[in-house]
A and B are shown apart, each in its own frame.
Chain A
Amino acid sequence: MNRRQERRSYAIGYGLALALTLLVFALVGFDLLPRRSTLWVAGVAAVMQIVVHFRFFLHIRLKGQTREDLQLILFTTLLLLLMGGGTIWIMTDLSRRM
């Protein structure tokens, strides 16, 4: 990639991230959707924005990596899902039974 393409890639990432952020804040600020739908949209938007940041700012890609960055990040994500998800699952289940 040449300089102009790289700069444009940062601009695209910034635009996408900003759009996702504003969408979520608009939903909350103007109370546009019921709580449950807002949380779903916010969750999906957050995952999308995290992917945007990794792709456009940190330049992590699916192909052409010579370093194991992507594997490292995916493994960490797996650990986070197991530990974070497990904690939330067990604790909410416990509080329901108490």
Chain B
Amino acid sequence: MSSRHPGLNLGEAHGAAHEAAEKEVFGFWVFMMSDAILFGLLFATYVVLQGNTNGGPGPSDLFEIPSVLIQTVLLLTSSLTAGLAQLAMKHALGTRRIVIWLLISLALALSFIALEVRDLLTMISKGGIPEASGFLSAFFALIPLHGLHVVAACLWLLALLGQIARYGLDDAVKTGMLRLGILWHFLDIVWIGIFTIVYVGGLA
């Protein structure tokens, strides 16, 4: 087949892996979209409950805009570097380059997690615990779930690095990279919703 999918893909030069990617990547899209529904409903829950602070601390007591901005830029930049890893793979620029871009993406994502955990701990120390109010229950259902997703993506990235070290860039690793790329960008898209609805909505 000459006219192949123009999306996140490997390209004709990759032969069998390119063929396999068509089905596997689409299957992963279906999985991601079911995850999108989960996040969407947690967003709806948050919007419904955000005003119910029950006399406890509210958004302006707990959220810090500079830290959220840094987290946003870290995640966005890791999306770019993860994309550059995809390009390095697609155009066969060598395993070294792929691994370097993956490591940069990993470092950025880990910095994001570190900042997020720090912020959550600060919130808890100010009395912003999940059981304090409906607002905080909904907050702690949504934000740490996204954080857990990012941690899972980091573990997956490490597993892929292990596979690259052990097996080289074989077909399974290539399609794995594509799927990780989709998860990585997807989590960044969920974060757009989080910073807009939760942080900007809470502080504007």
Residues of A within 8 A of B (CB): 3, 6-7, 10-11, 13-14, 17-18, 21, 24-25, 27-29, 35, 38-39, 42-43, 45-46, 49-50, 53-54, 57-61, 64-69, 72-73, 75-76, 79-80, 83-85, 87-88, 91-92
Contacts and interface: CB of A to CB of B under 8 A. Distances in A.
Interface of B: 1, 3-9, 22, 25-26, 29-30, 33, 36-37, 40-41, 43-45, 47-48, 65-66, 68-69, 72-73, 76-77, 79-80, 83-84, 87, 90-91, 182, 185-186, 188-189, 192-193, 195-196, 199-201, 203-204
A42 B200 contact: yes
B204 A80 contact: no
B6 A57 contact: no
Which among B8, B182, B196 has the greatest number of chain A C-beta atoms within 10 A? B196
Contacts of B30: 72
- Tell me the dominant secondary structure on chain B's binding face: helix
18 contacts: A6-B87, A6-B90, A10-B80, A10-B84, A13-B80, A24-B196, A25-B69, A28-B200, A28-B204, A29-B69, A49-B192, A50-B189, A66-B22, A72-B29, A76-B33, A76-B36, A83-B40, A88-B47
Contacts of B196: 24, 42-43, 45-46
Nearest to B79: A57
